[in-house]
Structure formats: C-alpha cells, structure tokens
Chain A
C-alpha cells in the first residue's frame, strides 16, 4: 500500500464547479505539500501545510493531522485549472518528500 494515497485519480468538471481532491497518508509528517503540474512537466508548489487551512485565491487547502487527511478545493473552476495535482508529505526528521501519484483534473468550458 502506498504511504500517500490520492483520490480521485482522474476528475472532469464543467467550468464553475467546486472541486475537491483528497489525500490520505499513513506516516507521521511534519508538513504536507500540494503541487500543480501542467502539461510540459514543470511543477509549482501551491501550498505547504502543517495544520489547519490555507487559502490562495480560488484555492483552499485543509489538513486534519489526527485523521491523516488533507483536501485541496478549487472554487469556481476554470479551464486553466486543468493540470495534475500532486500531494506530497514530509516525514518527521527528514527533508525527503513522499509523493502521491497525482490527480488529473480537466475542466471544460
């Protein structure tokens, strides 16, 4: 079983819809990252969380440390949000990241 699991693997939405991507992990962590990868490959960091909730524009990330679960929400989705969203966790006492396999999001006009 992977230490970081994401769901769903693929997601399609109509423009304007509210989107949720989930991440569950099975190890003790000091931080969780949400990353975005557009076609072409480059990865951009969206959020780094260790507790609670963060918001940036239409993106919201939450984490529940007790339940070992995080969610990434996109409000009022837009076709430019189409990308692969990747959850990654940093284990205690290490600087290495463990990655989920990603959620491919397509938003149609």
Chain B
C-alpha cells in the first residue's frame, strides 16, 4: 500500500516560532508538493520539488521555504510563523512526465498559529 505520510495531524504554534512540517513518501517518486488549503480557495501550491535538492516556487511561497535532502522526504519550513499561516497543509507526490501517475496525498496537517 503506497503511502505519503505527514509527521503531524495537528499542530499549535506561537507567532514567531520556526515550524517544520515533514513529509515522507515510499513510492520513489521524483515529484513532491506542498499545498495549503483554505475554505473557499481550494488547494494552492506553495512549493514543488522535482528532484533531490531541486525546488520551484508555487503560487504562494512567501513566508515559506522547503528542503529536499533525500528523495523520500520533503520538508516545509515556516521561518517565523504568523497567524495568517493557520491552515491545512497537504503534501503530495507523483511520478513525472511521460510516466505520470496519479498524485498521492498525505493525511494533512492542521496548523494553528496563536
């Protein structure tokens, strides 16, 4: 059974804290994605990684950074958490290009910044 696993289901952090959200996939996928999901806005892409150490900004990268040191792990970092980053965060992975497969999603992390 293929899996994308996010490290936490729920997190509560204080304004100004540095926050790490971790995602691990076991399908040897090259592509990994971080999205945030807000009511009425759908899923919006924060960052995309198409290989180890390779990354590309998505639609809303401000206030976030990412790290991909190993193929199976993609981390989202909130350098200084703010209340407007309270949201549901979803990680996904897929194979690229001509062998493109379904996207597989993690279970989500609901982050509250107080």
Contact = CB atoms under 8 A, between A and B. Distances in A.
Contacts of B43: 86, 88, 97, 99
Interface residues on A, range: 20 to 34
Contacts of B44: 99
A7 interface: no
Contact of A45 (B45, B90, B100, B104): B104
Nearest to B48: A96
Interface in B1-43: 9, 31, 33, 40-43
Contacts of A101: 40-42
B58 A41 contact: no
B108 A33 contact: no
Contacts of A102: 42
A42 B107 CA distance: 4
A42 B26 CA distance: 17
Interface string A20-53: 0000000000110101000011111100100000
Interface of A: 30-31, 33, 35, 40-45, 48, 86, 88, 90, 95-97, 99-102
